[in-house]
Amino acid sequence: MEDNNRIIRTEYSEEMQKSFIDYAMSVIIDRALPDVRDGLKPVQRRTLYDMYELGIRYDKPYRKSARIVGDTMGKYHPHGDSSIYDSLVVMTQDFKKGMPLIDGHGNFGNIEGDGAAAMRYTEARLQKITQEAFLADLDKDVVDYIPNFDETEKEPSVLPVKIPNFLINGSEGIAVGMTTSTPPHNLCEVIDATKAYMLDESISTAELMRYMPGPDFPTGGIVTNKDELLSIYETGTGKIKIRGKVEFEKAKGGKTNVVITEIPYPMIGMNISKFLSDVAALAETKKTQDIVDISNQSSKEGIRIVIELRKDADAENFVNLLYKKTRLEDTFGVNMLAIYNGRPETMGLKQILKANVDFQFEIATRKYTNLLNHELEKKEIQEGLIKACNVIDLIIEILRGSRDRSMAKACLTEGKIDGIRFKSKESKIMATQLMFTERQANAILEMRLYKLIGLEIEALINDHEETMANIYRYEDILERRDSMAQVIMNELDSFKKEYGRKRRTVIENVEEAVYKEKEIEETEIIFLMDRFGYAKTIDVSTYERNKEAADTENKYVFTCKNTGKVCLFTNTGQLHTIKVMDLPFGKFRDKGIPIDNVSNYNSEKETIVYITSQTELNLRQVIFVTAESMMKIVDGGEFDVSKRTVAATKLADGDSVVSVMSILEQRNIVLQTKEGFFLRLPIEEIPEKKKGAVGVRGMKLNAKDVVEAVYYTQNGVETSIQYKEKSIILNNLKPGKRDGKGTKIRV
């Protein structure tokens, strides 16, 4: 039995490289990037062409989107229905496209990011400009047609677009190893710049920008870096800074409303809700206390986001805060990458216009060559019919004397008279002199008798004169570049007149927003945290009125600065800092906020050992004691850090912090172990170390024993504790030395 399978041996890396390059080029050329000539990606081009083929014109009824998507997928774009429908949806959205190409009927989404309805519910048809400027000349052989994916249909390789759509509608796409991002521009300005280039191909980019000063986003807004645009349009890359448009309105009670009427182009979609949550977060995190209320009052009439400010708020300064902290000021990254001569290329403004103008001359040359040939055919036929009318009697005699059509046609074209019966010798002689062309002879044989009416003959002569005028015109257009250029510019002017609109985006130089935070008067307040971990701050007078209840109900109570920080030491050896301003300040009976919510502290993984204020720490020394009885004293100033979380001490594997305490008037420290050993020693025996040190051993421990509690005593002040139902006066414990065993308390 013969084995027909062939095993091809190849280098794995070479095969992978070749396959990946093929895949990458397929994505780049056939899917993700637009062609600079028509400004369309393949899926967009195929969708528009399919609608043209289906006859879904601007003056015809809408057709179901599902019908369009299915037909496009079946004939031209076998990459899934969602990509085709998504493309169709975007081409209907006037807030994404400077000039929508499809007229949608139904729910096609909105500027706030709500998606379109399913394609079975929506309907669509071509826009008038799409039909006139994108598809009008497809019947004049102006572009090449290529086979579709299964070679059962033909599709245009590019649409004969008569306007620089790549600039007008912009484009966004992600290919393999490259992206394209071109902002939309104003139709009138792009046409003016195109005409300026056609009149002077040596024109500079700076001069072109007198006609087209920059992008024109459908959402309006303010471009703030005008001086940087020249570099962007020369290189094709850069960053455009854009702000939303803000107005101030007077509200009741002397308040001011900040009203956002236009948003930056990158904010469209879900980023509007992100902006609203970011503004709310400014109030929640106390970045500003000026916000009273925020509401999104946007509708079909346009964007209207209202932020109500309190009476004495500085509205200008608040708007600067929005520019700094939210997406009300955003960046549009420009990378004008498109397919040019079959390969991806990043182009500047002048190169884009050149590619478009060259394309216009190419399709105009093919169009008028086609029209000229058509008129020359008409001229030939018209001249034959006029000549035939002058000898109509002879032609009728030939037709009546011929046996069949071929005999009559041979006589008309070659003067052959064999077999034809003539009434007179003169007619026979005249027939031999006939020299009509084949096309003329066919027209004569198919001519109807009513064409011999006087008015019809006169109309034929008039048509011939019109045909001759067209021939002279077309020849002039094809022979003289100036004439063709004028025709192209006239068409551009007609599109500008019918479809042009005023610029929406303002372009200017704006200084960077500067937000001045209000200087807060520094005062002392009281920090309270209960045993459930809820923290808050109250003023000193409130604390004095409720001192007994405050001290009883809360685990931690201390004085701090309203501009300072609170420091949390945990059993894992971490120090978490919290800005006092991040804690709620209010009434004594307010619940407070979980300490986890305003710090990196995680109550499920660590336990708070000590809390104090940064101000207090800076003035004191701090004692650390671990479960394995490692001890040290650290200067509190070492914990004045900018980070929210740092390591407060170094721990051996398996060890944990048992106690952290600021040294005030304490003179002795008492260590108590799990097995009941107590060791009292003077604080002076504990050495001072850096926070990154492990420390020294405080007492000798049995194999499985650990330090369980730490107490402090003052000279002359009796301190007692309750240990396993036994009262112990710590001052009476026998003094020991560091690294001693301590005294066993028996109960």
CA-wise closest residue to 474 among 351, 376, 618, 601: 376
Helix axes 481-499, 349-390, angle to 10 degrees: 110
**Does residue 110 contact residue 299 with C-beta atoms inside 8 Å?**
no
CA-wise closest residue to 293 among 309, 272, 313: 309
**Does residue 572 contact residue 605 with C-beta atoms inside 8 Å?**
yes
Distance CA 292, CA 348 (A): 47
233 contact partners, CB below 8 Å, separation of at least 6: 205, 208, 209, 348, 349
Answer yes or no: 121 catalytic: yes
Distance CA 471, CA 465 (A): 10
Distance CA 144, CA 57 (A): 23
Distance CA 650, CA 692 (A): 5
Distances 646 to 171, 602, 638 between C-alpha atoms, Å: 47, 14, 11
- The catalytic residue among 52, 85, 121, 601 is 121
By DSSP bridging, strand 707-713 and strand 668-673 are antiparallel
Q: Read out DSSP for 447-468? A: --GGGGSHHHHHHHHHHHHHHH
CA-wise closest residue to 576 among 658, 517, 645: 645
Q: How far is CA 272 from the centre of its chain?
A: 12
CA-wise closest residue to 539 among 597, 547, 576, 553: 547
Distances 436 to 180, 387, 403, 460 between C-alpha atoms, Å: 60, 9, 20, 18
Distance CA 49, CA 20 (A): 30
240 contact partners, CB below 8 Å, separation of at least 6: 183, 214, 215, 223, 225, 228, 229, 232, 331, 332, 334
Q: How far is CA 37 from the centre of its chain?
A: 24
Residues identified as active-site: 121
